[in-house]
Every structure is written in structure tokens, then in C-alpha cells.
């Protein structure tokens, strides 16, 4: 099982409580969350399923590498954080 | 005259109303405070209001109100399809950066014709035009325009990507739609979007090499409007001048004598008098500030042969307000105008611009000003 948490800043627009889901990759874990929260998906991913430009996903503290297809693996017990990438000054 | 005004800003949507007897405009309602509202459309066909929200991190969203802006519901935002497999990447011919098939920004929302209830047009960056036939519940990219080979010539002006910012639906024939793209010229369909032709003959691009200056598909119309009672008369505030068409965009005539400058973003045309139009000039590329620090509106009543410079009630020293392309509007009476600036000032007039009142100098940067017609 994988625990997925979202930035508090997203909660103002769409409720995204932490979820514990099944999944072997970031894509699978997020898909499991978004299956029950379809509106949230559009805030994190673009229309092609890629991570939005100013968003970032950490798996156990490490930023994912594959922002286009989210193929980074997640091990059982992993912590996935969906955050805003700091941009601008 | 219209007594309701919507003002979309960098930090929210403001609804202003005024009472009878010349009462001042007051902000009566706010929505989306803190969020960038890039476009608003009051649809008088059914009292719906559409608002485009550009979240810096979370993407572009569309919200719809069915009660004139009291309550809002998020709808599906337009979405680009996947590019064809194996097709070469779209690249900006100027910046040499990839042009994504991805919604970057909603820059235009317009209602379809009176005979098309629920149909809404949406212009976006990176240049796609979308239609919804169900009040924003679903959207479809207008492929016949997106797939035109000339799109490869389009490029961004102030933005990184080309943007479709003006949509004019002919009130006599809803299937005739004219759109304008920065920088991609003016395009016309007469069959509801099934086929398109570039109609910018006569426009001149001073920013292009001489051999390309008259290429219709690289023109930078900053704003396109048409007279509702005479839709074949169109006005364009272009990057390097003012252009007018009296034949439905088939040909354009440049108007070169506009005081104090031919540069600007916004233009509005009287709803029944096609020769009466208003512009808000500024110093062009080099500075983008009002000429001599004076905010002025210019008005022609003779199709651009002459202009009056209107200053009464507007700041005439050390004013650095720039009025972006969607920030000047005229109501259906043709007497009441409003315009707002990128530094948060909002002015209104009840006498076709002869005199102006400051409604606020403290709003966030203003992106769109529209009367509820």
C-alpha cells in the first residue's frame, strides 16, 4: 500500500484528503486516488496525464524523474507527496 | 443602458452595479478572490456567466454560474487531444520552442448565436479554438482551424505561444465566425467552423522582415471587434496600427492618423454606428506606457478619418496605466463605456466618452471588462 498526500494549497480548490492506495508506480497510485476524485486529477495532471509544469511529486522524499508518464516505481509503504514546485522569485 | 459590469482581474472577479438616477458604480460581489480570472463572459441568452481561471500551478479551469454570478460551479475546461502519432513536433517559427498540444490559457469566451442556445466559443493559448454545445460541460477543438498548415507560421506576441483572443459571431448568421490570433492573423468561417480562410489582406507587420510584412498569417491583431448592427464593419487594433474592414474582413484599410499613437491593445465599436469607435493608445514596444503619462481615449465618428482625444476625468500626469485588449467595452446603448488598466484603475462614461468617472484605482491588474448586455 502507498500513502498519497497533497499540498494544502490544493485544498482551497478541491478537497484532497490523504489516501492509502494500491500501486506499483506513481501513475498507478495517483490513478487510484483520482478514480474516486476525478476533479482533483485536472489540478495535478494536464490533459495528457503528464504532471503539470509547476507541480512536483516526491516519493519518500525524492522528486520523481518521469514527469510525462509517471512511471517511477513506488514500493510498498512508500510516502507520495504531491506538491507545488517553487517557481519564480 | 447596462447597470451591471463584470471586471476580471489578476486577483478575482468583481461584479459592479449601479442604482438608478446616476448613482455611482459599486462593487456588489466578488468571486475567486486571489485567483487569476483571465476572461469572463456574461451570456445574455440564458443569464449564465462563464469565468476562466488561470491557476499558476493547477492549470486553467472554467467555472459557470447559472444565476448571473451569484453561485459558481466548475465545468470541464477545454482539453487538447493527443498529437497524431509520429507527426513532427509543432515548433514556434520565431522562438524555436515546442508548441504544446496543451491548454495553457483561456483568452476568449463568446456566446454563439441567438439560434444556438448553450453554444459557447473559447479561444486559447497555444492558439486552439474550442466549442461547447452544452454550456461548458464538454468541449471540442475546432480541428479544421487547428489543422490549417498556416498555423505553423503562428507565434506568440507578448506570450510564449500564439493566442486566439477575439471571436466575433455574426448576429445575422451564426455560422459566420471571425477570429483573431496574436500572431496569426484574422480567420473567417462561413460554415460554423468546418472550413476557415485567413482574411488579413491589407494588414502590415512592421515587426517582420519586408518580404513577410504582408503575410496574412503572421499579423498581430491585438483586438478584433465588429459593429453588431453592421457586422461587415470590423475594427482591429493591431500591433503596429489600426485597421478597418467594411467587407467582413475580406480587405483591411490601415488608419494611420490616430492621436497620440497608433499603438494600443483595445478597441470598441458602437453597437449601431459602424463608423464610431474608441481606442486607448499608448507608446508601443519601446515603453508601453501612456504617451506623456496621460491616460486618454480616442473616438472617431467618421470611420477613422478623424479622432477626438477624450481626457475629461482621466489622469493627465504621471499615469502609467496600460489598457489590455479585453479591457474596454461599450454597452448596448452605445452611450455607456468602461475601461480598466493593468494597474487596477477602472473608469466609466455615460456620454460616449466625453467625460469619465473613476470607479476605483485600487483593483488588481485588470484583464477583462464586460457589461452584462
**pLDDT tens column, B16-72:** 999 887 789 999 999 999 999 999 999 999 999 999 999 989 999 999 999 999 999
Task: State what percent of residues in chain B have pLDDT above 70.
Answer: 99
**pLDDT tens column, B121-161:** 999 999 999 999 999 999 999 999 999 999 999 999 888 99
Residue B285 confidence (pLDDT): 62
In this prediction the ipTM stands at 0.90
Of B74, B101, B103, the CB nearest to A39: B74
- pLDDT band (50, 70, 90) for residue B284: low
Second CATH level (architecture) for the domain B92-371:
7 Propeller (2.130)
Please report, for residues A11, B74, B106, the alpha-carbon distance to residue A14 in angstroms, rounded to integers and kept in the order given.
Answer: 5, 10, 20
How is chain A split into domains, by residue range?
A: 2-84
Distance CA B206, CA B203 (A): 10
Distance CA A1, CA A32 (A): 11
How is chain B split into domains, by residue range?
A: 92-371
Neighbouring residues of A26: CB distance < 8 A, sequence distance ≥ 6: A57, A59, A64, A66, A70, A71, A72, A74, A80
Using beta carbons and an 8 Å cutoff, which residues of A are at the interface with B? 9-10, 13, 39, 42-44, 46-48, 52, 54-55, 84-85, 87
How far is C-alpha B329 from the geometric centre of its chain's CA atoms? 10
The answer to whether the Cβ–Cβ distance between A13 and B59 falls below 8 Å is: no
The answer to whether the Cβ–Cβ distance between B57 and A54 falls below 8 Å is: yes
**pLDDT tens column, B206-232:** 988 999 999 999 999 999 999 999 999
Q: Please report residues of A whose CB lies closer than 8 A to that of B80.
A: 47-48
CA distance A45 to chain B (A): 8
Residue B334 has pLDDT above 80, yes or no: yes
Which of B56, B59, B58, B126 lies closest to B98, judged by CA? B126
The answer to whether the Cβ–Cβ distance between B101 and A48 falls below 8 Å is: yes
Distance CA B275, CA B40 (A): 27
> Which segments within A7-69 are labelled E, that is strand?
19-21, 55-59, 62-63
Of B56, B61, B102, the CB nearest to A47: B102
The answer, for B79 touching chain A at a CB cutoff of 8 Å, is: yes
CA distance A44 to chain B (A): 6
Q: Which of A48, A50, A82 to mutate to test the interface with B (most CBs of B within 10 A)?
A: A48
Residue A88 has pLDDT above 70, yes or no: no
Residue B286 has pLDDT above 70, yes or no: no
Residue A85 confidence (pLDDT): 82
The answer, for B56 touching chain A at a CB cutoff of 8 Å, is: yes
Residue A79 confidence (pLDDT): 97
Residue A89 confidence (pLDDT): 46
The answer to whether the Cβ–Cβ distance between A42 and B102 falls below 8 Å is: no
8 Å CB contact between B232 and B191: no
Residue B238 confidence (pLDDT): 95
The answer to whether the Cβ–Cβ distance between B55 and A13 falls below 8 Å is: yes
Interface contacts A/B by beta carbons within 8 Å: 35
Between 3.10.20.30, 3.30.70.120, 3.30.1370.10, 3.40.190.10, what CATH number should domain A2-84 receive? Answer: 3.10.20.30
The answer to whether the Cβ–Cβ distance between A52 and B59 falls below 8 Å is: yes
CA distance A29 to chain B (A): 19
Which of B11, B22, B106, B9 lies closest to B336, judged by CA? B22
Written as one string, the DSSP assignment of B293-334 is: G---EEEESSTTS--EEE-TTS--SS------TTSEEE-TTS
Q: Please report residues of A whose CB lies closer than 8 A to that of B101.
A: 48
Amino acid at each position: 500500500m502507498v500513502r498519497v498526500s497533497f499540498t494544502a494549497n490544493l485544498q482551497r480548490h478541491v478537497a484532497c484528503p490523504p489516501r492509502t492506495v494500491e500501486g506499483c508506480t506513481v501513475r498507478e497510485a495517483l490513478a487510484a486516488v483520482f478514480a474516486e476524485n476525478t476533479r482533483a486529477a485536472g489540478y495535478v495532471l494536464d490533459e495528457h496525464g503528464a504532471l503539470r509544469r509547476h507541480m512536483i511529486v516526491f516519493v519518500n522524499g525524492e522528486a520523481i524523474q518521469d514527469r510525462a508518464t509517471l512511471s517511477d516505481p513506488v514500493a510498498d509503504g512508500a510516502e507520495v507527496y504531491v506538491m507545488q514546485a517553487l517557481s519564480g522569485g | 443602458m447596462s447597470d451591471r459590469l463584470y471586471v476580471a482581474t489578476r486577483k478575482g472577479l468583481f461584479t459592479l452595479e449601479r442604482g438608478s438616477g446616476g448613482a455611482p458604480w459599486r462593487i456588489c460581489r466578488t468571486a475567486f478572490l486571489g485567483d487569476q480570472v483571465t476572461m469572463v463572459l456574461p451570456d445574455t441568452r440564458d443569464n449564465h456567466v462563464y469565468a476562466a481561471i488561470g491557476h499558476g500551478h493547477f492549470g486553467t479551469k472554467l467555472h459557470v454560474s447559472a444565476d448571473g454570478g451569484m453561485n459558481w460551479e466548475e465545468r470541464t475546461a477545454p482539453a487538447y487531444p493527443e498529437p497524431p502519432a509520429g507527426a513532427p513536433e509543432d515548433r514556434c517559427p520565431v522562438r524555436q520552442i515546442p508548441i504544446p498540444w496543451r491548454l495553457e490559457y483561456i483568452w476568449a469566451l463568446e456566446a454563439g448565436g441567438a439560434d444556438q442556445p448553450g453554444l459557447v466559443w473559447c479561444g486559447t493559448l497555444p492558439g486552439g479554438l474550442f466549442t461547447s454545445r452544452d454550456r461548458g460541460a464538454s468541449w471540442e477543438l475546432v480541428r479544421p482551424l487547428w489543422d490549417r498548415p498556416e498555423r505553423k507560421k503562428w507565434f506568440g506576441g507578448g506570450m510564449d505561444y500564439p493566442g486566439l483572443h477575439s471571436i466575433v459571431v455574426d448576429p445575422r448568421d451564426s455560422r459566420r465566425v471571425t477570429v483573431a490570433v496574436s500572431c496569426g492573423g484574422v480567420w473567417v468561417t462561413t460554415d460554423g467552423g468546418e472550413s476557415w480562410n485567413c482574411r488579413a489582406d491589407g494588414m502590415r507587420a512592421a515587426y517582420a522582415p519586408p518580404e513577410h510584412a504582408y503575410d496574412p498569417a503572421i499579423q498581430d491583431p491585438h483586438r478584433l471587434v465588429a459593429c453588431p448592427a453592421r457586422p461587415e464593419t470590423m475594427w482591429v487594433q493591431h500591433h503596429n496600427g489600426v485597421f478597418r474592414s467594411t467587407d467582413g474582413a475580406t480587405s483591411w484599410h490601415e488608419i494611420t492618423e490616430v492621436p497620440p499613437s497608433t499603438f494600443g491593445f483595445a478597441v470598441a465599436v458602437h453597437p449601431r454606428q459602424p463608423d464610431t469607435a474608441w481606442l486607448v493608445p499608448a507608446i508601443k514596444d519601446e515603453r508601453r506606457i501612456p504617451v506623456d503619462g496621460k491616460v486618454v481615449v480616442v473616438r472617431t465618428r467618421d470611420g477613422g478619418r478623424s479622432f477626438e482625444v477624450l481626457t475629461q476625468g482621466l489622469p493627465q500626469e504621471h499615469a502609467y496605466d496600460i489598457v489590455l485588449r479585453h479591457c474596454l467595452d461599450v454597452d448596448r446603448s452605445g452611450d455607456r463605456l468602461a475601461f480598466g488598466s493593468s494597474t487596477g484603475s477602472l473608469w466609466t462614461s455615460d456620454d460616449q466618452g466625453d467625460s469619465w468617472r473613476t470607479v476605483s484605482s485600487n483593483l488588481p491588474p485588470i484583464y477583462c471588462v464586460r457589461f452584462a448586455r
